A and B are shown apart, each in its own frame.
Chain A
Amino acid sequence: MSLEQHAGLLIIAPLMGALLISLLGGLHRRVAYLLLVTSLASSFYSAMATLRQVALHAADGPLRYRLGDWAPPYGIELVIDPLNGLVLAMVSGVALLVAIFSKNTVRQEVAEYIHHYYTLFALLVAGLLGITATGDAFNLYVLMEISALASYALLARGRGFAYYATFKYVIMGTIGACLYLLGVGYLYIKTGTLNMAELVSFLTRTELINSESIRVAFILIMVGLWIKMAFFPLHGWLPNAYTRTTTTTSCLVAPLMTKVSVYVMIRVMFGVFSVAFVHTTLGWSKGVVWLASVAILAGSIGALAQTSMKRMLTYIIVAEVGYMVGGAWLGNAAGLTGATYHIVSDGLMTACLFMVVGAISYKTGSDDFESMRGIFRRMPITAVVFLVGAFAMIGIPPTCGFFSKWYLIKGGVIASQYPFVAALLISSLVNAVLFFRLIEIGYYDTFDSEGKPEGHGKIKVQEAPLSMLVPMVVMAAMLLVVGLYTGKIVTSLIQYTIPAGL
């Protein structure tokens, strides 16, 4: 197997995995589980190999992989540069760890038809990786819908009014994808191509950039993507859909779907349109950064009002989307570096915290704040992982959350967008309040029937099973490792993703 095939394999592996799981997974749930983990592990391996290759040749331009050896513009090509190489590694890594993590939670929550659940799991990952790798605007739409359809089916398997919450997401998600498709249609009418590299060269070389249709196309695509990523005024569907579903689904969907949409936004802004168009011709930058600041505050305030950990985390996601959108629209290299770096770090830390909540609710059957009581004695390892995740979310060095905030704040100061800087700092403080409250609850023991704290001897260690602990600990370690290697990631990868003119 030559090294050149890794770019194709990283999408084919989960796709074939989905097929095999649906064919053979019915034999035994262990077969389905092993097939899922194997396919995602090979996908992760290919993603890392591709990333390594891209990093070695970062200065020479992106890696192009022609599917079926059809040359563009007739064929579809995968284009992997440092930006999506990083996102691919993050997506496949998080998906692999969540897949390992899911062994016990799926058995508890899904019970029957586990292989159907795992088929959808693999399809969702294949869709997300495809969105990230593709170099074709229409292909991106199709893969976006593949991952969206898989996520609808996964999210609907929940409790309470999960079906109703998912139905709302189906409607909103379809509107978002259709607006994107309509925008791509405008681009096609004007340029006659769907290949992103050709689109950007058409749009920068000619006078087209000033045309009204191109402007409308950009706005349609942006609004569509903002719906998909739950950017502030369009976020209404997210908290209910992500809270009501099963633990495994929220561990998988919550960190990945919104982050991949943010990646697509950055790709469209600078890989299809251009810096000059986004920041000069359109002139929306200030407004969008303001909106992002409001998104951050709205998400943080929403999070303060919750009493369930999962629901609190979903509101934090809304705030984090504000971070990334704001960073991308600041219009300087530091802001974009922060946004790109935050896609990776936020994906990791959201996955880490959702896994902790999943482990706690697996053991206690609830994800209320009260289920944290006595956590440090009952589940010491989970509690440590929780601490690392919480510190990353607050932004305490040396976790990766600190460095992404550092770049974002630096970008905000350079662009003199002080409201955005203030919103970032307030949101960090709110996160500190949220998580220290949980840590405080965690230090106190459970009470017995008379309202007295239970004695030390009575509380036994009830740690989550090994299949959950290992991915959680790896994820927590990744938060620290990515944080410590920030300099290397930025200089050898992210700095090549900054488009000229920023």
Chain B
Amino acid sequence: MEDLLAYIISRYNYWAAIILLLIGLYGMIAKNNLLKKVIGMSIFQSAIILFYVSIGDKRGATIPILEHSHDAHHGAQQVVEAASYANPLPHVLMLTAIVVGVSTLGVALAILQKIYRVHGTIEEDEILETIDQ
């Protein structure tokens, strides 16, 4: 039992990402209101962004800006210890992913507004009724 607990706690960032992913997926599948589906989609994307950001982190590491690199005495000889800096690459990737996520959200909301104008509702079952007629 304690092993299991330790196993879960030691990877809490993955668990958080998984739980958020599932909340988002549930929202997209189960909700009848299209706006709630969009919110689910956004949570789903955010979960992946958080997952990426969390893997760049290291215990006891600092932001990836080289210390003393402007200092003439140390600059040239300084050995970069990778372990003391967080990995910036996943964070940079996620800057792009955030932009993509915001754009998708924007397009989805614009389409949602159009749906409301055409069908007069954003409840999925009511839209399906208007289509059947």
- Chain A interface (Cβ < 8 Å from any Cβ of B): 138, 141-142, 145, 149, 152-153, 156, 160-161, 163-164, 166-167, 170-171, 174-175, 178, 181-182, 185, 188-189, 194
Contact = CB atoms under 8 A, between A and B. Distances in A.
A174 B118 contact: no
Contacts of A156: 111, 114
B interface residue count range (under 10 / 10 to 19 / 20 to 34 / 35 or more):
20 to 34
Interface centre among A138, A141, A152, A171, by most B CB within 10 Å?
Answer: A171
B48 A163 contact: no
Nearest to A169: B111
A185 B108 contact: no
Interface stretch (B2-10, B66-74, B99-107): B99-107
Contacts of A188: 55, 90
Interface in B23-55: 25, 28, 34, 37, 41, 44-45, 48, 51-52, 55
A267 B36 CA distance: 35
Contacts of B104: 145, 149, 170, 174
Given A156-B111, A161-B131, A171-B37, A185 B52 contact: yes
Contacts of A141: 97, 100
A138 B93 contact: yes
Contact of A185 (B34, B48, B119): B48
Given A145-B100, A161-B118, A163-B115, A178 B45 contact: yes
A152 B107 CA distance: 8
A175 B28 contact: yes
A185 B44 CA distance: 15
B96 interface: yes
A153 B114 CA distance: 12
A96 B107 CA distance: 26
Contact of A182 (B51, B90, B100, B112): B51
Interface of B: 21, 25, 28, 34, 37, 41, 44-45, 48, 51-52, 55, 90, 93, 96-97, 100, 103-104, 107-108, 111-112, 114-115, 118-119, 127, 131
Given A145-B104, A163-B115, A175-B25, 20 more contacts: A141-B100, A142-B100, A145-B103, A149-B103, A161-B131, A163-B118, A164-B115, A164-B131, A167-B108, A167-B112, A171-B28, A171-B37, A171-B41, A174-B41, A174-B104, A178-B45, A182-B51, A185-B52, A185-B90, A188-B90
Contacts of A171: 28, 37, 41, 108
B95 to A, nearest CB: 11
A181 B114 CA distance: 29
29 contacts: A138-B96, A141-B97, A141-B100, A142-B96, A149-B103, A149-B104, A160-B131, A161-B118, A163-B111, A163-B115, A163-B118, A164-B115, A167-B112, A167-B115, A170-B41, A170-B107, A170-B108, A170-B111, A171-B28, A174-B44, A174-B104, A175-B28, A178-B48, A181-B97, A182-B21, A182-B51, A185-B51, A185-B90, A189-B55
Contacts of A161: 118-119, 127, 131
A145 B108 CA distance: 13
B73 to A, nearest CB: 28
Given A161-B131, A174-B104, A167 B111 contact: yes
Contact of B107 (A138, A153, A181, A182): A153
A145 B48 CA distance: 15
A283 B48 CA distance: 28
B41 A182 contact: no
Contacts of B127: 161, 164
